[in-house]
Amino acid sequence: MLSALKSSPVTFALIALNLLAFGYTWLQPDPFSSRTLVDLGAVYGWAVGVRGEWWRLASGMFLHSGPTHILLNMVSLYIVGRIAEQLMDRWSYLALYLASGIVGSAVSVAMHPEGLSVGASGAIFGIFGMIAGYAVAFRQQLGERFAALMREFGGVLVLNLVLGFTIPGIDMSAHIGGLVVGFVGGWLMRYPRATLIWSGVTVALALGYVRFVYPAMFARQGLVG
């Protein structure tokens, strides 16, 4: 266990943050209710568009709607996060994780402006995408390890996709948004610092959208001045 902590500190830190947020949610008088999740920072289109609470794109990544939700996400993060942390430097990995989650949240509010979403799924799908993008970019260098890598995380990806399309209430738009950001970021690992730049650009675009473009939809409805 100690060796795993040393080799994957970012993954374990992210899991710890999610568990701390889950524990704090559990301690609330009405844990996991929509009202409680909104109060704690869930991704909520109206609050983002009308109140300008853009920070929800990030805070919602660390909240979960119940024990099953966080269990599935943390198991997936443990599996693919450790793989990702072996393939890329830790700063690029962390930047891409956060960027995938933030962009996924922005896509979510764009597709479902009246919806509410929580969870690390968008960021985790970004890591799925990152591994796939990295494997495509470095396929020749990986050799036989390419096939092993695909088998190692492919099953988890398929399981998450099946769950996403079959379980009601799961927002696949955030998953797809994170997946695309992650895939491009992973492919860009062939160029020094390109993944960090890509992460910064995508976050800037997502925040610019919810700050300057997204509120216009609510303004047309007379909800903002």
CB neighbourhood size of 198 (10 A)? 22
Among residues 220, 89, 82, which one has the least CA distance to residue 152?
Answer: 82
Q: What is the mean pLDDT of the chain?
A: 88
Mean pLDDT of the 184-195 span: 94
Contact of 81 with 127, CB cutoff 8 Å: yes
pLDDT at 7: 83
| Of the listed ranges 10-14, 165-169, 190-194, the one predicted with least confidence | 165-169
Mean pLDDT of the 183-202 span: 95
Residues designated catalytic: 121, 175
pLDDT 10s digits, 92-120: 999 999 999 999 999 999 998 888 999 99
What share of the chain in percent tops pLDDT 90?
A: 63
Q: pTM of the prediction?
A: 0.91
Q: What are the chain's domains?
A: 2-220 (1.20.1540.10)
Q: What is the CA radius of gyration of the chain?
A: 17
pLDDT at 64: 94
pLDDT at 158: 73
Contact of 25 with 36, CB cutoff 8 Å: yes
| Of the listed ranges 54-68, 162-176, 199-213, the one predicted with least confidence | 162-176
